[in-house]
Structure 1
């Protein structure tokens, strides 16, 4: 079965890492997220966060832009360099256009100015977590489909390519120089291996597997 997720839904395993050297700001965000039913863990600095190296699956980071040591944008750049696809929301009390441009180039998901509205912050966090969950589910499905395709024999893959191209069994048989009956056998086998119930289901799977 393909991995299924409700679009825009936040999984219960989602977590927000709050990174801020201001203790009162950390506690305020922790309280806000606790009340909203979102798991949260805080760090007093980006360096402490990097040293702890917590799991980033299903995570979102909310960080202040200016902190002693590594700043919020530098943190986003470090994560981007590691190819970590975790969304980063940067909070700042000193917003300007060059800073915003620098943040976006670093891969920052959102840029929020202080003082911020609680609901605006929650919308940004929920949106980032939901998009992350959707992306994770899509990546998991691509892996599953790729594994199924890898399990096909060479001839089954040839038949599948013909089917996905919209060719009839007889046309595939002619192209492969085999009988239409043999194509039917390969077709039945590959549909089972791909766990595809219909031809449109098979086409969708192959499309998913080829997505970047």
Structure 2
């Protein structure tokens, strides 16, 4: 299960590290980033993959990140997560290009099922 490449973007270091660790144990190739800006600086469209990003981050939020990727024509599948979601945020996230919106805390098996559908 080494494919696809998964990018985890979350400004909360313990959350990011934990998610990366669990996904690596499950056999995924995972790279974590502490900000959307750091991700954009290092990401290459050629790599493809799946992005899992927090919605609420200080430098560039996950919805804005999804919009930037959509505007660039990126083929990444996007999962956005947040501890504070409502119908408006979900709609905005989907319109920005997210395939999935999960509310924290989410069950790992739900995330893995979504990854399987997007791969």
Task: Give TM class, smaller chain.
Answer: over 0.9
Alignment of 1:10-159 (within 5 A): 12-129=2-119
Q: Which has the higher helix share?
A: 1
Q: Which residue of 2 aligns with 1:6?
A: none
Give TM-score scaled by structure 2 length.
Answer: 0.94
Q: Distance in 2 between matches of 1:76 and 1:60?
A: 12
Q: Which has the higher strand share?
A: 2
Greater RCO, 1 or 2 (C-alpha within 8 Å, sep 6+): 2
Consecutive aligned runs of 4 or more in structure 1 exceeding 3 Å deviation: 54-58
The runs of 5 or more residues in structure 1 that have no matched partner are: 1-9, 130-212
Q: Distance in 2 between matches of 1:19 and 1:119?
A: 19
Note the aligned Cα RMSD (angstroms).
1.3
Structure of higher CA gyration radius: 1
Q: Distance in 2 between matches of 1:117 and 1:70?
A: 26
Q: Which residue of 2 aligns with 1:165?
A: none
Q: Distance in 1 between matches of 2:17 and 2:9?
A: 11
Give TM-score scaled by structure 1 length.
Answer: 0.54
The runs of 5 or more residues in structure 2 that have no matched partner are: none
Q: Distance in 2 between matches of 1:55 and 1:17?
A: 12
